[in-house]
Structure 1
Amino acid sequence: MDLHDVARGRGSRERAMAPVTGPTMTVGIWSDMLYPADRQRQIAEILRTRDVPMDSVEIDSPQGHDAFLINSDQLAELIEQLLSTAAKASL
């Protein structure tokens, strides 16, 4: 699981993110060592430079990668926000 790289087989993160055009949100957790928050910020910046509708959130949790399980209520709110944004964009 810790070997995932969105750019693997695609040449670069920029190339991997090229098909993304709809509302997007990156969520980083400052203490996550498997998917570091700085990588989420890099992906967000790539999308912003292409004018993709973008939100970027960093969760303040000492729980590391498990924060997505422990802070599930916070993540659910973020997902609801993204889905609402996407629904409005499709009208």
Structure 2
Amino acid sequence: EDYLYYQGESLVKRFDANSYLYISRAMDLYDVSEGYPSLEAALRRLRSKALFIGIRSDFLFPPAHVRWLANQVRLVGGDSTYVELDSPHGHDAFLKEWGQMTNALTI
């Protein structure tokens, strides 16, 4: 809980609230399949390897959704890997769990 308060205070000092609203809205509205007939059609265009990292305690991007997307890439012939981190830090685990992140990135 102290960690969350610290992060909140830090964010307030360096980030304009209106900017945060616009970024948050852009994330909510982004649709990778826009302009394509389906999500599958959009994912078929992926030519690079894709690494999907889920975090067990992440409520912003639940690991089940991340795992599902990695599987969708594989189903259309893409090269995707799914790794799941175990951390109490939720979505911010990518900032706190350097060891686990490094291991995931070297797969």
Matches within 5 A, 1:20-59: 20-59=46-85
Kept in 1: contact 2:44–2:77 (CA 8 A):
no
Return the TM-score normalized by structure 2: 0.61
Rg bigger for which structure? 2
- Structure possessing the higher relative contact order (Cα contacts under 8 Å, 6 or more residues apart): 1
Flag structure 1 segments of 5+ consecutive residues without an equivalent: 82-91
Q: Distance in 2 between matches of 1:29 and 1:49?
A: 22
For structure 2, the 5+ residue unaligned runs are 1-23
- Equivalent in the alignment of 1:78: 104
Structure number having the greater helix percentage = 2
TM-score, normalising length: structure 1:
0.69
Report if the CA contact (8 A) 1:7-1:15 is conserved: no
Cα distance in 1 between the residues matched to 2:81 and 2:73: 10
Q: Does the CA-based 8 Å contact 1:29-1:60 persist in structure 2? A: yes
Counterpart position of 1:88: none
Q: Relative to 1, partners in 2 of residues 1:46 and 1:64: Cα closer, same or farther, differing over 3 Å?
A: same
Q: CA RMSD in A?
A: 2.2
Q: Match for 1:57: what amino acid?
A: V
Whole-Å separation in 1 of the counterparts to 2:77 and 2:43: 12
Query: Number of residues paired by the alignment?
Result: 81
